[in-house]
Chain A
Amino acid sequence: MTFNSLEFFLFMPVVYLAYYFSPDRFRWMLLLAASFIFYAALKVPYLLGVLLLVATATYAFGLWLDRAPTPQAKYRLLWAGVVTNILILGVLKYIPFHAFVAIGVSFYVFQAISYLIDVHDEIEKPEPHFGYFLLYLAFFPKLLQGPIERAGHLIPQLKVLRPGDLQAFRSGMWMIVGGLFKKVVIAERLALLVDPVYSNVQDYAGISLLLATYVYAFQIYYDFSGYTDIALGTARLFGVDLTENFHSPYSATSVADFWRRWHISFSRWILDYIFKPLQMRWRDWQSWGTASALVVTFLACGLWHGSSWGFLIWGGLHGIYMASSVFYNPYQKRLDGVLGLKGSPYLRLWRILVTFNLVCLAWIFFRASNLKDAVFVATHLFGGIGDMSRLIDLWGFREPFVALISMGLLALLSFLSKRQHLAEAFFDRPFWARCLVYYGVIMYLLVLGSFSSRAFVYVRF
């Protein structure tokens, strides 16, 4: 079931109430059962089997490698466990013709791999209790699209499950509403602007393609961060704290900075488990070793999203951006010093603009239906103003206007809610006054939201 479906908003209160009134020792079982119902609602029965298989294999390898007598035996068992996981993912996701649906699999397989490596590196002890381990992979708020949690962060919380307090309940509910707002009011509306252009790119040129690409950058951000807010908010109601995934990614001042702010749980994963080991292995090549490690890491990052040229080129571009920065960063630092630009706000603004455009160039390959379309867009971006009447006919003025107003409103609300005293003042108002605000927000969602139940973008990965 997806977070923007009616089913979910019937399912969640029922699970929450049952959880709230359940004795402490049954809570993990309740969440586990809820997670399986949640996954089963996708109506793809074999996925439940895949989840159980990944969990059982990883659980067993974790215990075996911990008990192995020699470092060599540990290392072999680690590889056996990792390869098993990759094979399962490979069969489901990468065999041609889309024979299988793999929703959620790439997310929990990544968590399983991080668990095995952490146990091998003695960062974590293996989990002896299969129930908690299964819930670590299956916990429904993060099952379909992450965040990709580390065992050390999530498992200890699953052992002392308790509903969040009143403050957690309030902030969790606000996160859910805010995430829903991002998805159904903003991202869905932006998708209506992007989809027609990207499904017929040859009909457009110049500014129209550029605008559609910029709008896509915001669509995917609001879509994915909206999903994440609902996931984090839901988990918070159950008293569980999940990892933050986004931190104003488009205010990044470099591509490296972008990856510290975008899909953070994923970028930390590729950093720890792909990039660092490669960089370590190739350290004798110095800068070239780091650069090569970056390119390989980001190619793998592209492939994780799917086996298409578009994703591979998207990853490759990020790899090249990062690799080239390894070489020019030292000069950049000196140049800024010579030009007296250090700490200048204009330099910062310039960097944000350049980074955003580099990221958008890569998004073209991520979004386009095929390589031919992507190349068409990338080579026709600067084809002048072109004939914009088509775009104006398509977009009209109302939808972009509502999207912009909603984005502004959301930015304002999130700014205000960060001011502690304002948030407290709000909750000090009488109940009826707060209800007026809740009513306003819900009406805004219902009237301007699009509940076409279009899937979240990242559910495909």
Chain B
Amino acid sequence: MDVKEQLNLIFREVFDDDAIAITPQMTANDVEGWDSLSHITLIVAIEIKFKIEFNRKELRGFKNVGDLLNAISAKIKT
């Protein structure tokens, strides 16, 4: 399973919706329940699953799912 598929599973679990199909252009506006409160749940789930850690500055830079995907890929390679 590639990074995108794994991330999609996390999205479905966190936002409790099996119909979610993530795309790189997707933003918080496109997913019901993805707000500033639930965002951290998503981030923590990603951190645990991929065994990585983000800092505050990195999180501010994410504008859409594509940015998130790139950051995850970059971190698991190093």
Closest to A291 in B: B37
CA distance A257 to B67 in the complex (A): 27
Measured between C-beta atoms, what is the minimum distance from B73 to chain A in Å?
A: 20
User: Are A280 and B40 also in contact (CB < 8 A) when A122-B57, A123-B60 are?
Assistant: yes
CA distance A121 to B60 in the complex (A): 8
CA distance A283 to B46 in the complex (A): 13
Q: Which residues of B contact A289 (CB under 8 A)?
A: 40
B35 at the interface (CB under 8 A from A): yes
Closest to A257 in B: B35
User: Are A286 and B60 also in contact (CB < 8 A) when A271-B36, A275-B36 are?
Assistant: no
Cβ-neighbour of B37 out of A121, A122, A256 (below 8 A): A256
Closest to B33 in A: A333
Q: Which residues of A contact B36 (CB under 8 A)?
A: 271, 275-276
Q: What is the 8 Å Cβ interface bit string for chain B, positions 29-46, against chain A (1 contact, 0 not)? A: 000000111001101100
A290 at the interface (CB under 8 A from B): yes
CA distance A276 to B59 in the complex (A): 10
Measured between C-beta atoms, what is the minimum distance from A323 to chain B in Å?
A: 10
CA distance A289 to B16 in the complex (A): 21
- Give the A-B pair count, Cβ closer than 8 A: 33
Q: Which residues of A contact B43 (CB under 8 A)?
A: 283
Among B36, B41, B59, max chain A CB count under 10 A is at B36
CA distance A248 to B59 in the complex (A): 30
Closest to A118 in B: B60
Q: Which residues of B contact A286 (CB under 8 A)?
A: 41, 44
B77 at the interface (CB under 8 A from A): no
Measured between C-beta atoms, what is the minimum distance from B22 to chain A in Å?
A: 21
Among A272, A277, A280, A289, max chain B CB count under 10 A is at A280
Is there an interface contact between A279 and B60, defined as CB atoms closer than 8 Å?
no
Is there an interface contact between A290 and B40, defined as CB atoms closer than 8 Å?
yes
CA distance A102 to B22 in the complex (A): 48
Main secondary structure of the interface of A (DSSP, over half): helix
A326 at the interface (CB under 8 A from B): yes
Q: Which residues of B contact A277 (CB under 8 A)?
A: 56
Q: Which residues of A contact B59 (CB under 8 A)?
A: 276, 280
Closest to A277 in B: B56
Measured between C-beta atoms, what is the minimum distance from A183 to chain B in Å?
A: 32
Which chain A residues in 138-159 approach chain B with CB under 8 Å?
none
Is there an interface contact between A280 and B56, defined as CB atoms closer than 8 Å?
yes
User: Are A326 and B44 also in contact (CB < 8 A) when A121-B60, A122-B57, A277-B56 are?
Assistant: no
Q: Which residues of B contact A123 (CB under 8 A)?
A: 60-61
Closest to A120 in B: B57
Measured between C-beta atoms, what is the minimum distance from B51 to chain A in Å?
A: 15
Is there an interface contact between A283 and B40, defined as CB atoms closer than 8 Å?
yes
Closest to B60 in A: A121
Is there an interface contact between A121 and B57, defined as CB atoms closer than 8 Å?
yes
CA distance A121 to B16 in the complex (A): 32
Known: A276-B59, A279-B40, A290-B37. 20 other contacts (CB 8 A): A120-B57, A121-B57, A121-B60, A121-B61, A122-B57, A122-B61, A123-B60, A123-B61, A256-B35, A256-B37, A271-B36, A276-B36, A276-B56, A277-B56, A280-B40, A280-B59, A283-B44, A289-B40, A290-B40, A333-B16
4 nearest A-B pairs in the assembled complex, by CB-CB distance: A121-B57, A121-B60, A279-B40, A280-B56
A-B contact pairs, 28 of them (CB 8 A): A120-B57, A121-B57, A121-B60, A122-B57, A122-B61, A123-B60, A256-B35, A256-B37, A271-B36, A272-B60, A275-B36, A276-B36, A276-B56, A276-B59, A276-B60, A277-B56, A279-B40, A280-B40, A280-B56, A280-B59, A283-B44, A286-B41, A286-B44, A289-B40, A290-B37, A290-B40, A326-B37, A333-B16
